[in-house]
Copies of this chain bind each other. A is one copy, B any other.
Amino acid sequence: MRIVVARCIVDYQGKLSAHLPEARRLLMMKADGSVLVHADGGSYKPLNWMSPPCWLTEEPPVDQESGELTSEAMIWVVTNKAGETLRITVLDIEHDSSHELGTDPGLVKDGVEAHLQELLSQRLDALGQGWSLVRREYPTAIGPVDILARDGRGQAVAIEIKRRGEIDGVEQLTRYLELLNRDSTIAPVRGIFAAQAIKPQARVLATDRGIDCVVLDYDELRGMDDVSARLF
């Protein structure tokens, strides 16, 4: 990885056009050819970048009109297969170093949506007494339903789980319910939209369609003994 701190001008031409006026920035060239342009603020997203696979070439600092050499140190041009280009005009370099990092062993995660699904499928009693799991990832023609269960009265229930409950999730569950209710062997099927947090508009849409909303508490699901409130 090569790290450069320099005054620079950056132009991206591709899916859109983007231009960065002259300023001092951090330029990161990774081993896979990708390039990142970072400012001293903002979050993890670079101001501008080129994703791999891509290739970096260096253009001589020739003025496009006069054809003469300019005072600029160099122009880096990064291109990918789709023809998108990132042009970095480097005006002066404050720091330049290269480092051998090797391949990274990678990130280990815990607590994503898959875990919520696993937990809830094991704790259907959190939804009410007598609930039973039919199966996780219950297949339909348009994709798998997160959980198919039966409630205390034996009626089929399709459960869609999200970390954050937004309108898209309600649409998704609606499509599943429409399909499942055509299947006479399990119809009628009702829906539950379960998430760690549910946006108001998503709740309104769900309610309008007769879908129940449930807010999941990760810690409560994880705790084996204490489920503070039955939902049904």
Contact = CB atoms under 8 A, between A and B. Distances in A.
Interface of A: 1, 3, 5, 15-26, 28, 30-32, 34, 36, 38-49, 51-52, 94-95, 97, 99-112, 142, 168, 171, 201
Nearest to A163: B15
Given A3-B26, A30-B40, A44-B36, A94 B102 contact: no
A47 B107 contact: yes
A34 B43 CA distance: 7
Contacts of A110: 16-18
Nearest to A97: B95
Give the number of copies in the complex.
2
Nearest to A33: B41
23 contacts: A1-B26, A1-B40, A3-B26, A17-B110, A18-B109, A18-B110, A20-B105, A23-B101, A24-B99, A24-B102, A25-B101, A25-B104, A26-B99, A30-B41, A40-B102, A41-B52, A43-B49, A43-B51, A44-B44, A47-B104, A48-B107, A94-B99, A171-B171
Contacts of A104: 20, 23, 25, 39-42, 47
A18 B107 contact: yes
Contact of A52 (B1, B43, B95, B103): B43
Nearest to A46: B44
Contacts of A107: 18-20, 47-48
A19 B107 CA distance: 6
B40 A31 contact: yes
A162 B171 CA distance: 18
Given A40-B99, A47-B104, 15 more contacts: A1-B40, A15-B111, A16-B111, A18-B108, A20-B104, A20-B107, A23-B101, A24-B100, A25-B104, A28-B38, A30-B40, A39-B101, A47-B106, A95-B99, A142-B201
